[in-house]
Amino acid sequence: MEHEWHEVGERVFRKRFDPCDVTVTAVVGTDGVAVVDTRCSVAEAREVAEQIRRFTSAPVRWVVNTHAHFDHAWGNAEFLAPRQDPPARIWGHASLPARFDLDDPFVADILRQMRAAGPEWAAQVAGLELVPPTELVHESATIDLGGRLLELRHHGRGHTDADLWIRIPDAGVVLAGDLVEESGPPAFGLDSFPMQWAATLDRALDWMGPDAIIVPGHGEPVGREFVSTQRGMIDAVAREIARLHAAGVKAADAPAEGTWPLTTKELRDAIARGYAELT
């Protein structure tokens, strides 16, 4: 299904893109456009750059990666010279550059999966150009788009150890990356922190304001209640991991021994990571 661009807040445009049903957001200021997340490849990011012209002629001057995962950050090079001149400034969490290294185990694993996924993905791998952010955020940063601000915050670990939240205060919009998922369950991968995720959501909820429109990394925008409910599910997973770990249940037996709000497949990495955090 082909999605369209939606103006989720004043001059804040978002669209869900396949593959991966990943959300890209374009925030338009007087001095230029900030693009949040860049899809899986330069070719896919080029589609974004072209489609943004439908609603603004302003240059893309800033790119923000919510986190390092391939579907959010591997199109960065589209917004740099020689493809774009002058280049945009690329922002991300301070831990991100290491995740753009081809020798990084997570990168190597994704590349392996892409090559195995068929000729279309293999072609993407062949044309890959990984460019990390150079504007690095430890805790917080603010970007002035000209007449409006973009606030970047790291509220702690969860989906990864290097997720950024982005708030556009004058539009009441918050971009959550994959810390919030609407089109599927929360994604616990082998780089996630299941035992810390709920507390991160608590801090983000305190920060975002009562009427925030929250744009997930995948799916449709949601409100605080949805995030609170998802926080409850993540907390339930963490509590069950802690209970089973304390009872001496082996990780391999935890899916069958516990009571869970997710399927065994969705839980597998959460349990592995949770046990690693507790041990």
Q: Taking contact as CB under 5 A, which single stretch among the options 51-59, 76-84, 175-183, 253-261 is the one that binds Zn ion? A: 175-183
- Report in angstroms how near the CB of residue 195 gets to Zn ion at its nearest: 18
Considering only residues 83 through 102, tell me which ones interact with Zn ion, judged by CB under 5 A: none
| Shortest Å, Cβ 187 to Zn ion | 6
Of residues 180-209, those binding Zn ion (CB under 5 A)? none
Q: Which residue shows structure tokens 């950050």?
A: 73
Task: Decide whether 178 or 240 has the Cβ nearer to Zn ion.
Answer: 178
Closer residue to Zn ion in complex, CB, 67/167: 67
208 phi and psi angles, rounded to 5 deg: -85, -15
Q: Tell me how far, at minimum, the Cβ of 160 lies from Zn ion, in Å.
A: 7
Query: Hey, what amino acid is at 1?
Result: M
- Name the token pair of 94: 């301070």
- 134-138 own/partner pairs: CB under 8 Å, 24+ apart: 134/89, 134/90, 135/89, 135/90, 135/91, 135/92, 136/91, 136/92, 136/93, 136/94, 136/96, 136/97, 137/91, 137/92, 137/93, 137/94, 137/164, 138/93, 138/94
Whichever of 40 and 58 has its CB closer to Zn ion, that residue is: 40
Q: Which is nearer to Zn ion, 71 or 78 (CB)?
A: 71
| Complex with Zn ion: residue 53 or 265, whichever CB lies closer | 265
**Does the footprint of Zn ion cover residue 69 (CB under 5 A)?**
yes
* 100 neighbors 106 (Cβ within 8 angstroms): no
Q: Is 178 in the site for Zn ion (CB under 5 A)?
A: yes
> From the CB of 165, what's the least distance to Zn ion, in Å?
14
How far apart, in Å, are the Cα atoms of 156 and each of 96, 162, 167, 269?
Answer: 14, 8, 16, 19
Least distance in angstroms from the C-beta of 176 to Zn ion: 11
Number of residues this chain uses to bind Zn ion (CB under 5 A): 2
Task: List residues binding Zn ion (CB under 5 A).
Answer: 69, 178
